[in-house]
Structure 1
């Protein structure tokens, strides 16, 4: 595996180097991509496709995220948008199920007021998490929060190397539930073969795993979790990304933790909606 030039970043550094990870499509480019995707074959948009593919792969490799502004017109029906996005994503991986029902796509929305609470930092169990904003929250909340595993790792290494040692040991995450039995045994922070720092964290499931038959957490583990959470919630660590209608975000789960700020929703057509797709990487896949 080739080495990757990894960039660890704080929130200020990510904002200052936006050109490395954020890409804006022109209206003509968006129309070309939409037409080819609806037709199910590449034609007039081949040049746009090549430029977008190169940018996404470079950004996901160095920074760990890619943001594409205005990828689609959100006024189109959700079914059409989902089909178009699934076609465009073939360049980056294979769509995989998100739950035990085998759902390949999900539209995330406020359920019983859960948008009023902050969603803690975590990693999903796929290579690439894809989010497409169909409708942002009307109050301006619901920002997607992002944190660099490399930056978090390096801070803890300097300040609390004992806690880092514990975070680099194997942990049990019992995620059994709607996705069926799912037990993940992994370090929270670890070295990857390509030279980058990897992460896997589920703030709720690691704490509740003992209640579902997993091993009890030791005092050192509880302390290490406290250190990790304290670092993650420092203002300079997490970057809050506002996503506009039609914006795309691709997150490399092994390198970037994500969460969500709280929001107040409005019922009906103006409620916050995010289309979510999980990808596992490979060559161009036939979906």
Structure 2
């Protein structure tokens, strides 16, 4: 499969498992050291070649499948401030951080809050071009797995099985995001065709279900969409290790998270997150 073909036809979890070279790149310890030294100094020198490889792979994978996983990119032993500065510089040609909450934070560290990790996060799209996640510490119990779904493949299934639902999902829906960062009220189709011909998506089950009184047909459409998203061939699970980067293009890939039970202290799950505007 070429990158263009993948973008046109979508992907299944089976395909991603069979072709990790399309979406996953492992950085050697030596290249990680060079990248860290140059990104921390805010100038490219000895790490130029490694940087070109990583930057090129990120851009090609985002275009091909809508997400990219770079393993062993950064040392989680560095401070949060050092990591955010280095990552901002390293990813500058891909995207720049934007405010992701009402406090105006550009980077936040995701942790378990009062046991909320035990609840799975349903599939959704964040209100930004790119979601950037750097794993600092995975969950001790092996949970907290990121789940990914191709908007194109989701649409293909719904079109085949429930064209009436697809017709509704292509209409405008209201998402009430009051009190969150960015637009407070978003009006958008859930599935749509983008200018480049790829299938686009925008979905947040909580904000759309709480936005207005929905009639039975629209509630049924949302229920069917959720059912499709959790089919095994759709929901691809990706486990991140400490130092791994994941970037997701929100207009083409929906994401969620499996539940996890955290451990207190240094083994507690931590993920550094940024919302980015794509260059």
- In the superposition, the TM-score normalised over structure 1's length comes to 0.93
Paired with 1:21 and 1:180, the residues of 2 have a C-alpha distance of 29
Paired with 1:77 and 1:172, the residues of 2 have a C-alpha distance of 40
Q: Give the superposition deviation at 1:87.
A: 1.2
Give the equivalent residue in structure 2 for 1:285.
none
- Counterpart pick for 1:219 among 212, 216, 239: 216
1:229-254 per-position Cα deviation (integer Å, ceiling 9, x unaligned): 11011122101100000000000000
- Counterpart pick for 1:277 among 270, 274, 278: 274
Paired with 1:10 and 1:71, the residues of 2 have a C-alpha distance of 26
The number of equivalent residue pairs is 275
1:133-180 per-position Cα deviation (integer Å, ceiling 9, x unaligned): 000000000000100100000000000000000000000001112437
SS in 1 for 2:122: strand
Gaps of 5+ in 2: none
- Counterpart pick for 2:54 among 52, 55, 62: 52
Farther off after superposition, 154-163 or 43-52: 43-52
Give the equivalent residue in structure 2 for 1:151.
153
1:266 counterpart = 2:268: no
SS in 1 for 2:275: strand
Q: What is the correspondence of 1:231-270 to structure 2 with a 5 Å cutoff?
A: 231-270=228-267
Verify the 8 A CA contact 1:4 1:195 in the aligned structure 2. Answer: no
Paired with 2:275 and 2:206, the residues of 1 have a C-alpha distance of 20
1:42 counterpart = 2:68: no
Query: What is the alpha-carbon root mean square deviation over aligned residues?
Result: 1.3
Paired with 1:236 and 1:52, the residues of 2 have a C-alpha distance of 29
Paired with 1:17 and 1:261, the residues of 2 have a C-alpha distance of 23
Verify the 8 A CA contact 2:23 2:68 in the aligned structure 1. Answer: yes
Give the equivalent residue in structure 2 for 1:126.
128
Paired with 1:59 and 1:21, the residues of 2 have a C-alpha distance of 5
Q: Give the superposition deviation at 1:181.
A: 6.2
